């Protein structure tokens, strides 16, 4: 099957930012319940409300035709979606025909069953969310998780030839003592590490004020033991990287609260129900599902163009006072990570 190269107008927003990266959520469901991300008693979308695998693949093709170079499959946990390997293969057919990279973010609990198929579909690197390697602490953070399953999934991904980056949310009073050991372990394994500030998305049982750990302070602490050299390496996302002299690896910092990075935003997010969210920090969206089902490609292109005109200049995340409502009402699992 021959895939035509991009032919439609490339994506650019009202602030002149070129959009070439789409994060495509395939499910809002997850087999973990991380305390900073989800409520313990989550309710999920009914099956009839979400896009089919065929519609997700069609959306991906439409974005490639508009000049999108990178697509990341997200969730929830994407590997709980039945048929995820087939979807990866369908989107992977665009690689070399407009699409430069297909990636995936996962908690790795099911990665052992999918790593080989993902690699065969053209996935070359993945992000794995891992906030602790301690079994008891991991179970506390995730409420239900077994870190042994995650580590087995990571090992399977490595064996399948996937480049792995560990994403670790820095949580004050929870895992701050594991950041330096995680950095050393990643160096030993040949993985990069990215640290992420907790984000005020969705109502959760814990107060995020108690858990917010500014990464500029974390970096200063790390620099007592590690030599961090600024690195121009980019993966398409908002992380800013440094080379770690002692390990030979990289560490990235995603700082939505301490250092706004919106001036270089190149991303759009599509939820599994077909809502194109122009910014993680805003509730506004454009309905692509209706355009896809009722109007075809022309309507889809028009809806995408509307979203680009509405894409805001920046988010306004902040950790407000104790008990304050989150900046955005939807959970990250609904948006797609």
Annotated binding-site ranges for S-adenosyl-L-methionine: 36, 76, 129, 199
Greatest distance between any 2 Cα atoms in the chain: 58
Segments of 34-76 assigned E as strands: 70-74
For residue 209, is the peptide bond before it cis, meaning its omega torsion is within 30 degrees of 0?
no
**Alpha carbons 110 and 83: distance in angstroms, whole number:** 13
DSSP secondary structure, 261-284, as one string: -GGG--EEEE-TTSEEES-TT---
Which amino acids are annotated as binding site for GTP, given as ranges? 23, 72, 105, 165, 267-269
Which amino acids are annotated as binding site, given as ranges? 23, 30, 34, 36-37, 72, 76, 105, 129, 165, 199, 262, 265, 267-269, 279
Which amino acids are annotated as binding site for [4Fe-4S] cluster, given as ranges? 30, 34, 37, 262, 265, 279
User: For residue 221, how far is the Cα from the chain centroid?
Assistant: 26
**Alpha carbons 292 and 286: distance in angstroms, whole number:** 12
User: For residue 316, how far is the Cα from the chain centroid?
Assistant: 19
Host H or E run for residue 107: none
> Per the structure block, which two tokens stand in for 188?
């030993």
Ramachandran area for residue 67 (φ above 0: left; ψ -120 to 50: alpha; else beta): left
Sequence length of the chain is: 337
**Alpha carbons 128 and 106: distance in angstroms, whole number:** 5
């Amino acid at each position: 099957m021959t895939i035509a190269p991009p032919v439609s107008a490339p994506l650019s927003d009202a602030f002149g930012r070129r959009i070439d990266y789409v994060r495509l959520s395939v499910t809002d469901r997850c087999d973990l319940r991380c305390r900073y991300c989800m409520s313990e008693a989550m309710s999920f979308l009914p099956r009839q409300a979400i896009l089919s695998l065929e519609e997700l693949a069609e959306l991906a093709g439409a974005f490639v035709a508009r000049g999108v170079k990178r697509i990341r499959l997200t969730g929830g946990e994407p590997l709980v979606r039945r048929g995820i390997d087939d979807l990866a293969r369908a989107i992977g057919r665009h690689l070399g025909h407009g699409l430069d990279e297909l990636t995936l973010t996962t908690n790795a609990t099911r990665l052992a069953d999918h790593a080989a198929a993902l690699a065969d579909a053209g996935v070359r690197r993945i992000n794995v969310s891992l906030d602790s390697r301690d079994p008891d602490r991991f179970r506390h953070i995730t409420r239900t998780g077994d870190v042994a399953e995650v580590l087995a999934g990571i090992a399977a991904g490595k064996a399948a030839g996937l480049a792995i980056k560990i994403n670790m949310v820095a949580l004050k009073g929870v895992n701050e003592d594991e950041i330096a050991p995680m950095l050393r372990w990643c160096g030993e394994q040949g993985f990069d590490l990215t640290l992420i500030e907790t984000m005020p998305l969705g109502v959760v049982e814990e107060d995020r004020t108690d858990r917010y750990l500014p990464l500029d302070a974390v970096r200063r602490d790390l620099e007592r033991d590690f030599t961090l050299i600024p690195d121009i390496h980019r993966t398409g996302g908002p992380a800013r990287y440094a080379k770690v002299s002692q390990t030979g690896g990289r560490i990235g910092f995603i700082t939505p609260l301490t250092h706004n990075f919106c001036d270089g935003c190149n991303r759009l997010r599509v939820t599994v129900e077909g809502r194109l969210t122009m910014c993680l920090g805003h509730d506004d969206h454009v309905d692509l599902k209706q355009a896809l089902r009722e109007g075809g490609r022309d309507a889809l292109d028009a809806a995408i163009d509307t979203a680009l005109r509405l894409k805001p200049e920046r988010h306004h995340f902040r950790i407000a006072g104790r008990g304050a409502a989150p900046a955005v009402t939807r959970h990250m699992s609904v948006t797609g990570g």
